[in-house]
A and B are shown apart, each in its own frame.
Chain A
Amino acid sequence: MNPSGILLVASLILTAGGPGADEHLLAGAHAFREARYAEALVEFRVAQELGAPESGDYAGATLVKLERPLEAIEAFGGLGGPGRDALTDYYRAVAAYDARLYLAADRLLAMVGDRSGPKIADQAARLRSRIGSVLAVPPVPAAIDWYLAQCAEQRGLKRPILSRAYCQEAAEQALRRPDHYRLSEAQAGAVGTLP
């Protein structure tokens, strides 16, 4: 089991929610520890139904493991602001990276920093290094077009968290170009003023 899995389980044991939800959170944690991610996700989803507030983060981490980054971002409630702890922010960053939201991922990894243990800090540093190479050059217009297309598609699918995330990324990427390509359109999408 990897270090992030151990930390997740430890975190769960310490923060398990109210009656009913607890047993599902713990069952999910055990399944997660044994890399049975499909079972872990089901348990976390049930705990979510039972009103365990933290289960969204655990479901998000599990969805990252299941390589479902878009749903993970939704489960985390988006990518803005700091998460509950460094480990959650690390998983949020991985979800963002997998969804090609590189600037958002980098921002989250910067927040992981010293708040985490050495293993997660090391993994975070590696991921930041990979992101650094991606961000070494300004984006081509086609890349910003792609982010805006994702923003529009997710808006059409009524997935506002994802729509905002892609428009936000498009806006920040546009700012990295001297011509601020399609910046105003991206900013409008990021604050939700587009139809």
Chain B
Amino acid sequence: MITQLLLLALAAQDPCAPVDTAASPDREAATLYRRAGDAERIAGFRGTATVAYRKAAALDPADAASRQALRALCAEGASADAQDAFTEGQRRMSAGDLKGAAESFAKARRSGDRSAALLEGVCRYRLGEDAAAEAALEEAEGAPEHQELSRFYLGLLALRAGRSAQAASLFDASATNQGLAAMAATLSRMAQRDGPLVIGFEARVGADSNVSLASQAGGTGSASGGMMGGGSMGGSGAFMNGDGLYDLALSALWRPLGPSGPYLRGIGSVRRYLQQNGYDLAVGEAAAGWQWARAGHGVLGEYAFGDQRFGSSPYLLAHRLLGSGWVTTGDWTWSTLYFARLEDYATAYQPFSGTLQRAEVKAAWTFLPQAWAALRYGFTHDAAHAGVASYDEHGPRAELHAVFTPTFRAGLEAGLAWRQYAAYDSTLALKRADTTLDGTLLLEWDVGTAWTIRAALEGREVRSNAPSASYSKLVPTVGIAWTKGL
């Protein structure tokens, strides 16, 4: 049925097909059809004009004007073919056949159709055929009605190729189209913070309601028993453990070949407490990796070395190998991640040393142009030297992110994790099991091309079968970050 209708429709718009004379000629109606055909032809709509002329010629065998118009349209057959190819491209694009659609649009584009060039460019961009996409979009850019959308997609191509300055300028140019303005402004700012070398600095101040992870029961893990007392290092009750804090962080990322290729990155950060200096933390990490990214899919491999100091003493040296991959299908992105970290703790914490492995799967759904939600599930296996420090953990984590304006965005994350320790803890007189609920609310305002004000509220609630290991904490912070792509 669909095939028959398609053939019927194609014949009706084929100016070269023979015209069957109607059973009952009607010259008056033929005149009306011819007028409709003339109007459509003048307006440049060949398919509709052909339909009208064929009707007129069928109803009035003596209608020389309609037949002449059909002959002229037939002589311009290449354009008619192009129109068919364009229609076919639209059909295939709607059906999700991007490859087929790109080929149909390419055929239509050969007759100079810049709408076809635009759509071919969009299809090829989504297929990851960047060079072909760029050529098609540059051709479409010549048509005033397609200028902004072409520049927007050219910007995306430039961003993907690591040409961030060019991307920013293309996004700015496309913002004339109000339908693109919000997205273009966001992407422009993102492009200005991207490049072969990206450096960043962040300073935050805030408070931590429970620095030593003290339980509400009044004791800390280490004080009240158990080597794995929630990682606690001493202190008093939960309500006595609040302290002000500040964080400073520096980061750098170097990708000489752009987003797809090798990279080096480094980060250094310190957290200082105003009174409880024994809990200060300093972290340094250097990493080298390779990201292979194409449209809609990619993989990444990385080695990282980390050094942490707790208080003013050495705490942890770690080597980590990480691999991840992702695939995007429509509005969904599916990804997976695995890492293994060889942890070497300082002498005082030696029983924690061992190998920690984590695997994670994640599905992210972009439900609005600038809003997405994600759900992930992770498994962690920590094989520490001491059995009571070893554990298995698993649990889900949900994320919701939205860009509300080009300068304001927010994110909300919440996770639940169930941890089961491997061995009976004779000090606690039980085999410990914890449930952790944690969440983060993050608000970001861009106050310049490089500056962002960030406010965050982090919270955690740990319930353990060892009462001394149960605790809760809230960490509100506000800070300013500077990020620049060079």
List A residues at the B interface (Cβ < 8 Å): 34-36, 38-39, 41-42, 45-46, 49-50, 66, 68, 71, 100, 102, 129, 133-134, 136-137, 139-140, 142-143, 145-146, 173
- Contact A143–B178 (Cβ < 8 Å): yes
Instruction: For B48, give its contact among A38, A129, A146 (CB under 8 Å).
Output: A38
Within 8 A of A (CB), among B353-394: 368-370
| Least distance between B115 CB and chain A CB atoms (Å) | 9
Please list 21 pairs of residues, one from A and one from B, whose beta carbons are closer than 8 Å in the complex, sorted by A's number: A36-B8, A36-B9, A38-B13, A39-B12, A39-B51, A41-B40, A41-B48, A42-B48, A46-B36, A49-B36, A66-B45, A68-B45, A71-B43, A136-B182, A137-B182, A139-B178, A139-B181, A140-B176, A142-B176, A143-B181, A145-B176
Residues of B within 8 A of A134 (CB): 178-179, 181-182
- Contact B175–A140 (Cβ < 8 Å): yes
Residues of B within 8 A of A36 (CB): 5, 8-9, 12
- Contact A143–B33 (Cβ < 8 Å): no
- Contact A133–B182 (Cβ < 8 Å): yes
Instruction: For A100, give its contact among B13, B175, B179 (CB under 8 Å).
Output: B179
| Least distance between B327 CB and chain A CB atoms (Å) | 26
- Contact A173–B178 (Cβ < 8 Å): yes
| Least distance between B193 CB and chain A CB atoms (Å) | 20
- Contact B9–A39 (Cβ < 8 Å): yes
- Contact A129–B51 (Cβ < 8 Å): no
A-B contacts counted at CB < 8 A amount to: 83
- B432 at the A/B interface (Cβ < 8 Å)? no
Instruction: For A137, give its contact among B32, B33, B51, B405 (CB under 8 Å).
Output: B405
- Contact B182–A49 (Cβ < 8 Å): no
- Contact B36–A129 (Cβ < 8 Å): no
- Contact B12–A102 (Cβ < 8 Å): no
- Contact B177–A146 (Cβ < 8 Å): yes
Report how far A173 CA is from B181 CA in the complex, Å: 13
Which of A45, A50, A139, A145 has most B Cβ within 10 Å? Answer: A45
Given contacts A46-B29, A49-B36, A139-B178, 7 further A-B contacts (CB under 8 A): A42-B40, A45-B36, A49-B32, A137-B406, A143-B177, A143-B178, A145-B176
- B47 at the A/B interface (Cβ < 8 Å)? yes
Identify whether the interface residues of B are mostly helix, strand, loop, or mixed. helix
| Least distance between B264 CB and chain A CB atoms (Å) | 37
CB nearest neighbor in B for A153: B144
Q: Mark B286-329, 1 if CB is under 8 A from A, else 0.
A: 00000000000000000000000000000000000000000000
Report how far A140 CA is from B179 CA in the complex, Å: 11
- Contact B55–A42 (Cβ < 8 Å): yes
Given contacts A39-B9, A133-B370, A143-B181, contact A50 B32 (CB under 8 A): yes
Report how far A45 CA is from B55 CA in the complex, Å: 13
| Least distance between A107 CB and chain B CB atoms (Å) | 16
Report how far A143 CA is from B406 CA in the complex, Å: 15
Report how far A42 CA is from B12 CA in the complex, Å: 12
- B265 at the A/B interface (Cβ < 8 Å)? no
Residues of B within 8 A of A38 (CB): 9, 12-13, 45, 47-48, 50-51
In the A-B complex, the 6 residue pairs with the smallest Cβ-Cβ separation, listed nearest first, are A45-B36, A143-B178, A142-B176, A38-B48, A42-B52, A46-B32
CB nearest neighbor in A for B405: A137
Residues of A within 8 A of B178 (CB): 100, 102, 134, 139-140, 143, 146, 173
Which of A38, A139, A145 has most B Cβ within 10 Å? Answer: A38
Residues of A within 8 A of B8 (CB): 36
Residues of A within 8 A of B175 (CB): 140, 142-143
Residues of B within 8 A of A100 (CB): 177-179
Residues of A within 8 A of B404 (CB): 136
Residues of A within 8 A of B48 (CB): 38, 41-42, 66
- B486 at the A/B interface (Cβ < 8 Å)? no
